[in-house]
Each structure stands twice: as C-alpha cells, then as structure tokens.
Structure 1
C-alpha cells in the first residue's frame, strides 16, 4: 500500500468544538486512518475555541481579502490532531454556536463564512501548504460543499475529492445574488452546477462535483435516493448512485471505554456487570430519581427535535413508566419538547429526571447507568449514541431506519436463540411500534440472565473506527486509480 495524504475539511471537530456527530467523526477518524498508512490534516475555521486550542501555530499564507476582511492560514496541532486553521476574525471570532447567532437564527453571513473555508481547502488542495500535497480532499457536509467545485473551476491538476453526507436535512441553501461574491461564475448557476430550486445549494454543489460520495450507513444510502428521504436531492443521488457508498461511523473506543472511563462512578467490563449497578445508583441520585435498583431505567441522550422522535416518548410516557420504570434524559433543542419533559419530571417525581443542555460526564453516566437507551428517530443517518450504548451495556431500543437498522440486531426469538441479539428495533416510526418494543424490552429485562447475555453481546461488538477506517482508506486509494 502506498501512503495517502488526505485533507479533511470540517466545520467542527471533537474535542475542540462540537454540536453533533460530525465533530466526533472528524476528531476520531484521523488517528484510526493512521493505522492504514493514511495521513490526515484537518482544516477547520478559526473559532475562538480553535484559536485557544491550537499549539505550535505557524502562519503559512495570508489572504489580504477573504470575503470581507483579511485572513491567515495557520498550521499547528491540538493534542494529537494535525490542523490547518483559516483564521478570519471577521468571519469566525464570535461567541456561541458555530452556525447560529444568539437569537437562534443562522448567522446572516454563513454563505461567506463557509465559502472561505472551502476556498482555503481548494488552495491547500493545489499545493498551498509547504510539505503537504493532498492526494484526496475529503469534504464533510454542506459547510465544505463548495470544495469540489472550486477545485474543478481551477482547471489545474487537482486531488481527488470525496463528499460525505452526515445529514441530508442540512444543505446550506443561499440566495443567488451571492454567486459572484462567492467566486462562482454565472456559468455555474445551472442544474449541473450549484443551482438548487433557484438558489445556491452548497451540499448540492458538492454532490454534483465530487469524485465520490459517501454517507454514514448503507441503509441511509438507499433512503436518501427516495423522495421521502432525499429532501429534494434524491434525483441527483440516483444519477450519481454508482459513485456512492455507505460507510458506518464508529466511536472512539478509548474515550468510550467503560473499563477506564473517569466519568463513571464505577468502571466495569462485560465480565463484571454487577459493579455496573453502582453507576445506576449514581445516575438515579444525579437526576433525582428514586434509589431503586429494581426499577428498569431508560436513558435518552439526544438533541430534542421532531427528527429524534421524542414526541413519541412523551405520548407513550405513561406506558413507559408503568411498573415503576424510570427515565433519565439529557438533551436540548425544541422548546416545546423541553417544556413537556420538564412538566413530566414534575408530574412523575422520582421517575423522570431531566438535564437540559449538554454535559459530557452525564452523557457517559447515562450510558453506563441506564438499563436501556431509547433512540426512536424518524430518520438517522448513522447515530452514535446507540454504539456508545452497546459498548456500555445499555441495551438500545431503536427505530428501524438508517444506521440504527444497520448497527443493532433485534432481539427477536431467533436472534436470541442464536445468541446474536444486541437490542430492539421497531418500525414504522409510530407510537404503537415503539410501545411494543418497550414492552418487549421490559419482558426480557425480567429475565436477568437473558438480559445480561444481550448486554454482553453489545459490549463485545466492535463499534470502533477500525473497520470503517479500512473502508475509507480503500476508498481513497480507489479514487487515486480513477
């Protein structure tokens, strides 16, 4: 195998800045790819958190004019991550969310902000950075969607391009009057270019012009080629289907390791599940739940939104809590859902405990202390929380969509008999199927030996980045032979 240099382009990266699973992927994949002889340097925007984290900072290029102000391209490290940073204070030196203003709306200049990220990526792709010439530029989500078209417009030798869809619901759509300001000639405003229903589509541009397209599970590949799942891009994706592949995400099994996790009250492994109960007690105490080891404890770690199906949990809450069961929730998002869960915690004291916001320690404790984890998403490109749940012995209850369908083996009679079940699936995504799955879980939970076998199956499943990293490395090398 020949070594491969990859420039990864992302708008967020764990552990520096995170709003969702994209950051986890961008942060974990580089070290996993190193074992495949793939060197990754990641380009990120110079948010305040990034500027604080970068070490050994070196300026490698200056942009006198970069979408409204001057900017510097920097190189450096943050922990084990090799980084390029586009330091443009007028675009990125802002508090809070990478994407949203304090009023909760998108930053008005998001098109310029992420065009700057893509422009810098295209320049690096053409050899701007001393000592690093990428063989492949890997663009993640709409924020990097202009990278492939910028590289094609240069009409010079260029690296191969890979575009990954982490969630097709977010597409980066902007008004057409920005076309020339973004450095896109009028000739690109066509159905074969960046035009998307009369607007400029960043993700659409990337999907149209990348050499290869990936998304984060095989089932999601099929779903997004349908009118129901493609969100307006299904026709294009069907045309480009031969260039598409689905590669499941993994999790960082060093960060997510119940045997060494300092966020837990007690570490454990699949051979010592008795000690796991200490975490259940700690979780109950943390969220004000009754200290009852015999109460089945359901967990949720999720963005609160319609996509995540949490309105179904509320609709079926009385059945979920029947028999003394409990619910521990960590999340934030839709205000109506927050208010409804807050009310539920008042109506069901000792049975429903909620924390609104994000708390990394509590996220780990819910995985390590709950008996089962609910993931009733209406669509889910891959999902990471169910992988963490399996790793931590919290049995996932998931809808049969996207990566949830690909990663959890349903505990039906045959799978239990064969000793391969790892959780519970339900479909379609509606209240009655969810209720049936919860009832199946409750019934099996009463047989503690059977439940422990289910936990052990999940904990022994390889949910790391090792297999996905090999698939990405194979894809990169296939790009080089095109």
Structure 2
C-alpha cells in the first residue's frame, strides 16, 4: 500500500509533544514492513535544518499563498522514509514554535497556515504536484490536518482517508470571518459539517469527513464518546463509532 502520512510535527525534525514521537516512528515502522509511506509536514526553519539534504521537486500555486509554494524532498533522518516539506515562507519561515510565537501566544494566522498545508497535502494526495505518485491512503493527525479529509471529500477519485486523534482537547477553533476568508464551501458552516458552537472547527473536518477515525488506545476511543472526555464532540464520535478504532501506541525500542 502507498501511504501519505501528514503531520504538523515529527521527531527529530520538530517536536512539541507526543504527536511528534508517533509521526517520527510510525512511518519508519510501516516502511520497514515493506509498505511505501511518505511523510509530509510544514517546512519550519528547524525542520529544514534537521532534515539536511533537500531538493525542490515541485512548485505549487495554492489559495492563500502570496507566492508559489515549494515542495522540498529529503529523507526523515536515520530512516528510509521519503520526506516532503511544504515550504511557504509567508507562513512557516518565522521564529517561535509550530503553533505559537516566541512569547507563547498562538500565531494569529494559524488557520491560514494549516489550511495552506492541507491544500498542499491534497495536491500530493491527488497526484497534482507532478510527482507521478498517488497514495492509496492519506493518514492525517490532529486538528492541523483536519481540513485534508474535508477537501478530499470533494473529489470523485481520491485516496482513502484516516484521521487520528492524539488529543481531542486541541480542536483548531476559529471565527466565522476566518471561515469566509479561507474560501471553504458555504454549506460546511453547519452543525453536521465544520461549525461548532458558532466557530470553525478544523478537527471536525477529520471527524466528519474521514473514512476512518483512530485514536491512541481502545480505552480513549471509548472515553471520548462520553461527556466527561468528549470535549463537546462526544455526540459526533458516538455517531461515528462504527468507523472509530482505538489502537494502543507502541514502544519505539530503537
């Protein structure tokens, strides 16, 4: 199977939490099981530096970008996993962390940043980046990739989508004006789509539109369907329980 693994962080390129550990180790384990898997994430300065040798393999014209977006290719360090970095200086070439400024405040344009990243992921997933490669599955992780399943759902011929919840508390919530600015379909501003208590919810893009949903353990898959742990999304997750699996994170012994 050919798989595109989309994440906003991956160790050892850049890390803020456990998502980076999974994104840095699971693709390697899958690659070692003879599956073709490629990792894609934003081209933060730290990621570019850590990746080492990179080359430009595509130039993309994407909504929201003031200039063409470069797709850089390399290898996840110390692995055979092919790596793509989405290089848009306007959104990713800045000091601070992946989601926040040096003072700890969220970047005010996070919605624009990860909407652009999602569109780049879709371009690769639909073989519209000139790579002569199309995955059979796109594996998305947490709210930063939530728009990927939503955008791909509009396509008649597309890969299957898997959305993994690592932490349901982080949902990528933005206002109505942001929804309008991103140019998303107007009918997505609905309770059964991306609207959540009068806000745009990136994570709902994954929960509503992905073909399958997974999370980090069987227990957590049950907990997030309850009011105590569902963060307001328990009803949606209960509705999708037939497509929800809990898979315990493994231990990387390397």
Whether the 8 Å contact between 1:215 and 1:245 is mirrored in structure 2 is: yes
Whether the 8 Å contact between 1:225 and 1:238 is mirrored in structure 2 is: yes
| Alignment equivalent of 2:39, drawn from 39, 42, 60 | 42
Distance in 2 between the 1:182 and 1:77 partners? 31
| 1:20 equivalent in structure 2 | 17
| Larger Rg computed on CA atoms | 1
Distance in 1 between the 2:181 and 2:59 partners? 19
Distance in 1 between the 2:3 and 2:14 partners? 21
Matched, 1:226 2:226: yes
The alignment's C-alpha RMSD in Å is: 1.4
**Superposed counterparts of 1:56-455, under 5 Å:** 56-70=53-67, 71-79=69-77, 80=79, 81-129=81-129, 130-153=131-154, 155-254=155-254
Distance in 2 between the 1:14 and 1:152 partners? 29
- Unaligned runs of 5+ residues in structure 2 are none
Whether the 8 Å contact between 1:179 and 1:185 is mirrored in structure 2 is: no
Q: Residues 153-184 of structure 1, C-alpha deviation per residue, up to 9 Å, x if partnerless?
A: 2x330000000000001000011112243231
Shift of 1:230: 0.2
TM-score calculated relative to the size of structure 2: 0.94
Whether the 8 Å contact between 1:188 and 1:195 is mirrored in structure 2 is: yes
Q: Does the residue aligned with 1:179 lie in a helix, a strand or coil?
A: helix
TM-score calculated relative to the size of structure 1: 0.50
Shift of 1:66: 4.6
- Unaligned runs of 5+ residues in structure 1 are 255-482
Shift of 1:64: 4.2
Whether the 8 Å contact between 1:30 and 1:39 is mirrored in structure 2 is: no
Whether the 8 Å contact between 2:65 and 2:88 is mirrored in structure 1 is: no
Q: Does the residue aligned with 1:143 lie in a helix, a strand or coil?
A: helix
Distance in 2 between the 1:65 and 1:84 partners? 16
Shift of 1:68: 4.0
- Per the alignment, do residues 65 and 119 of structure 1 end up closer, same or farther by CA in structure 2, a change over 3 Å counting? closer
Matched, 1:7 2:8: no
Q: Does the residue aligned with 1:95 lie in a helix, a strand or coil?
A: coil
Distance in 1 between the 2:179 and 2:63 partners? 15
Shift of 1:73: 1.6
**Superposed counterparts of 1:454-473, under 5 Å:** none
Distance in 2 between the 1:180 and 1:149 partners? 16
Whichever structure has more helix as a proportion of its residues is: 1
Shift of 1:93: 0.8
Shift of 1:56: 4.2
